[in-house]
Amino acid sequence: MKKTWLLIVALVFSLVLTACGGNQDSSEGAAKGKDKSLVIYTNSGSDGRGDWLKEKAAEQGFKIEIVEAGGGDIRNKLIAEKANPIADVVYGLNEMNYIALKNEGVLEAFTPVWADEVEAGTSDPEGYYHSLVKQAILLIYNSDLYTEETAASDWPELWENKAFHGLYEVPTNLGGDTTRTVIAGILVRHQDPNGELGISAEGWEEIEKFFDNGTPATEGTPFYANLANGTTPFGQMFSSGIQQREEEYGVKAGIVSPEIGVPYVIEQVAIVKGTKKKEVAEEFINWFGSADVQAEWAKEFNSMPTNIEAAKSANPEVKALHESVTKQDMDWEFITENIDAWIEKITLEIQ
């Protein structure tokens, strides 16, 4: 009886060890199809993106959990969790966030199989993050109410011309990448090494006028609803978000193309350092960033891939939009060093 009991205990212990073996090297188990679950952080899961990605990834055997928040919030979360990471992969976000994450030691270097297929200079040269999508961060207007001639020609005209006062939406939540990029695009025009936080006094006056003369975003009411009904016929939007919202709200957006250009951001993908699913994360990124998948993503969500082959599949309207604007010169290293302090100053002193 005692021997029988010992045999049962040994058998149970053996089964437990077998089950736990995947935890000891979960990425190896995943690569063999035993566990392909991943936690993915992103700021790019809205408008059906997250659901689409879950479905398509499941077809490849992945089981992904998506955690979505604003780009700056995702970055802060990853840094806070650095000692005990929860996420395995991060995608979306823009350069200033990835530079910060790299500098904080949050990312794991890795070279995807498609790394040489994307536009030169769009990924991290040291391999910590790799480009997926280009986004133009735009000032748009309701084209039923304004024409190219009557609309504001650049952001400053909105507060310099009283005719536009109260007619553009200003953000109340400063955690999102689009908002932070708009603010950075205004402030870097007034870069001054002797100024407060690297910005001249004139620059801070401009950003104060920006907030003072606009209409604060209404909680629970999408910007496009107010764009369509004329409450705030001007405001910010990322390029891939326009076409779907035009169809949803029945309004055609006019695109402002300032002489100085518009901010361009490159959404990236990276592995979180310390993940226990490194091999699965690599497999996922190799799949997600491939030309075929990015071509599907481009068609579905009106994006402009950095993958040269996938970009050929971008929707014609998207190609035309990107051809209609020029890129603003942005010093992302400078912006990364200062963006948090800028946001803090705006939150405490200006908003």
**Gap between the Cα atoms of 180 and 162, Å rounded:** 25
Instruction: Tell me which CATH homologous superfamily contains domain 135-264+326-350.
Output: Periplasmic binding protein-like II (3.40.190.10)
Please list, residue by residue across 323-345, b when 16 or more beta carbons sit within 10 angstroms of its beta carbon and e when fewer do.
Answer: eebeebebebebbbbbbbebbeb
Q: Is-contact 234 170, C-beta < 8 A?
A: no
Amino acid 299 reads: K
Place of tokens 């995702």: 74
Per-residue tens of pLDDT for the chain, all 351 residues: 433 333 333 333 333 333 434 333 433 443 455 699 999 999 999 889 999 999 999 999 999 999 999 898 999 999 999 999 999 999 999 999 999 999 999 999 999 999 999 999 999 999 999 999 999 999 999 999 999 999 999 999 999 999 999 999 999 999 889 999 999 999 999 999 999 999 999 999 999 999 999 999 998 999 999 999 999 999 999 999 999 999 999 999 999 999 999 999 999 999 999 999 999 999 999 999 999 999 999 999 999 999 999 999 999 999 999 999 999 999 999 999 999 999 999 999 999
3-state secondary structure of 226: helix
Q: What 3-state class would DSSP assign to 57?
A: helix
Residue among 54, 51, 55, 104 at smallest CA distance from 75: 104
Sequence spans of domains, the chain = 25-134+266-319, 135-264+326-350
Q: What is the spatial distance between Cα 56 and Cα 62, in angstroms, rounded to a whole number?
A: 9
25-134+266-319: CATH topology is D-Maltodextrin-Binding Protein; domain 2 (3.40.190)
What pLDDT score does 13 carry?
Answer: 31
Query: How far apart, in whole angstroms, are the C-alpha atoms of residue 252 and residue 243?
Result: 9
How many CB atoms sit inside 10 A of residue 322's CB? 17
pLDDT at 34: 64
pLDDT at site 176: 87
Greatest pairwise CA separation for the chain in angstroms: 94
Tokens of 348: 């405490």
Q: Which two tokens stand for residue 241?
A: 């978000």
- Per residue in 141-176, pLDDT tens? 999 999 999 999 999 999 999 999 999 999 999 988
pLDDT for the residue 175: 87
Exposure letters 157-176 (e unless 16+ CB within 10 A, then b)? bbbeeeebeebbbbbeebbb
